[in-house]
Structure 1
Amino acid sequence: MTRTPPLGDQRGLWQAVMAAAAGRCQCRGTCGKKHDKDGGRCPAHHGAYVRHGTGPVHLLAAPADPDALLLPPHKAAALPKRELAAWCPACHDATRRAAARTRQAAVPGGPADALFDL
């Protein structure tokens, strides 16, 4: 059984992931955007404003592999630093949705709700 590290350890892990990412979202298009204007990488920096009228960006340390974004929270929290990346909320959510759609499309027989269609 894997235990979730204490909060202090998680904060240190988050800081290590942000340092490795230079405080910038590490998405390279898995969210569906090409990020062409920024050399192929999301321009969002932790604490900066992406556009006028929005709050500052708060980057997340989450699995680097899009499929791993679908892990249950207790398993994602147990991943080592080398398997994590910095994500802005917009890229994280879009990549997670895309991974869920891909996983659902791979299930034979289509969506589970199709069993109950009349």
Structure 2
Amino acid sequence: MSARVPPLAGAGLWQAVMAAAAGRCQCRGACGKSHAKDGGRCGREHGGYQQHHGGGTVRLLTAPADPANLLLPPHRIAALPKQALAAWCLACHDSALTKARKAQQAAAPAEPDALFDL
């Protein structure tokens, strides 16, 4: 793994999460992929090279480990303890967030449009 370059804000928390993750994305299928080639866990490492999604250097971010918590407002996510956070590559994070949003929309009861209610 290459040198970890922390973000501008929250560097201490980010470094603690990255150390716990050994600098590797912690997604185990929440994104919709099995990650079977990598033993069930995403193989992207911080500072490594990604062949897909435009290529370039992999930058991991810290976000809630539970995909349902990805939908929390930013101030609630910022208050989570480091044990509730995980390292995510951008591709896994975005896919897990999309899945969580779709699940939330599917679970929401259909409300009639009050504007046209007579």
TM class by shorter chain equals: 0.7 to 0.9
| Runs of 4+ off more than 3 Å | 114-117
Aligned with 2:49: secondary structure? coil
Structure 2 length as normaliser, TM-score? 0.84
Instruction: Point out where structure 2 has 5 or more consecutive residues left out of the alignment.
Output: 1-8
Aligned length: 106
- Whichever residue aligns with residue 55 of structure 2, its letter is T
1:36-76 per-position Cα deviation (integer Å, ceiling 9, x unaligned): 00000001000101217611011001000001000111110
Structure 1 length as normaliser, TM-score? 0.84
* Partner Cα separation in structure 1 for residue 11 and residue 76 of structure 2: 17
* Partner Cα separation in structure 1 for residue 30 and residue 62 of structure 2: 16
* Partner Cα separation in structure 1 for residue 44 and residue 14 of structure 2: 16
Indicate the RMSD between aligned Cα atoms, in angstroms.
1.8
**Match status 1:85 vs 2:86:** yes
**59-68 or 44-53: which moved more?**
44-53
Aligned with 1:61: secondary structure? strand
Percent of aligned positions with the same letter in both sequences? 63
Aligned with 1:67: secondary structure? helix
Aligned match of 1:46: 46
1:8-56 per-position Cα deviation (integer Å, ceiling 9, x unaligned): xx11000000000000000000101000000000010001012176110
Aligned match of 2:29: 29
Aligned match of 1:4: none
Instruction: Point out where structure 1 has 5 or more consecutive residues left out of the alignment.
Output: 1-6
